[in-house]
Structure 1
Amino acid sequence: MSGTQADQADIRPPAVGMRLEVVVLPVADVDRALAFYRGLGWRVDADYEAGPKFRIVQLTPPGSACSVHFGRGLTSAPPGSARGTYLVVDDLSKAREDLLGRGVEVSGVYHNTYDSGEPERVDGPSPDGRSYASFATFDDPDGNTWLLQEVTQRAPGR
Structure 2
Amino acid sequence: MDMKLEVVVVPVADVDRAREFYESLGWRQDADFSANDGLRVVQLTPPGSEASVIFGDRLTTAVPGSVQGLHLVVSDIEEARAELVGRGVDVSEVFHDAGGVFHHAGTEARVPGPHPERAGYGSFASFSDPDGNEWVVQEVKTRAPGR
Normalised by the shorter chain, which TM-score bucket? over 0.9
Secondary structure, in 3 states, of the residue corresponding to 1:99?
helix
* Higher CA-based Rg: 1
Q: Which consecutive segments of 4 or more residues in structure 1 shift more than 2 A? A: none
Task: Report the aligned-residue RMSD.
Answer: 1.4
Residue in structure 1 matched with residue 34 of structure 2 by the alignment: 49
Residue in structure 2 matched with residue 131 of structure 1 by the alignment: 120
| TM-score, normalising length: structure 2 | 0.92
| 1:14-54 Cα shifts (integer Å, max 9, x gaps) | xx211100000000000000000011000000000113621
Question: Would you say how many aligned residue pairs link Structure 1 and Structure 2?
Answer: 141
Residue in structure 2 matched with residue 150 of structure 1 by the alignment: 139
Contiguous gaps of at least 5 residues in structure 2: none
Quote the Cα distance in structure 2 between the aligned partners of 1:145 and 1:51. 31
Quote the Cα distance in structure 2 between the aligned partners of 1:103 and 1:55. 27
Quote the Cα distance in structure 2 between the aligned partners of 1:89 and 1:83. 18
Structure 1 segment 1-158 matched on structure 2, within 5 A: 16-51=1-36, 53-114=38-99, 120-158=109-147
| TM-score, normalising length: structure 1 | 0.86
Quote the Cα distance in structure 2 between the aligned partners of 1:128 and 1:114. 14
What percent identity do the matched residue pairs reach? Answer: 59
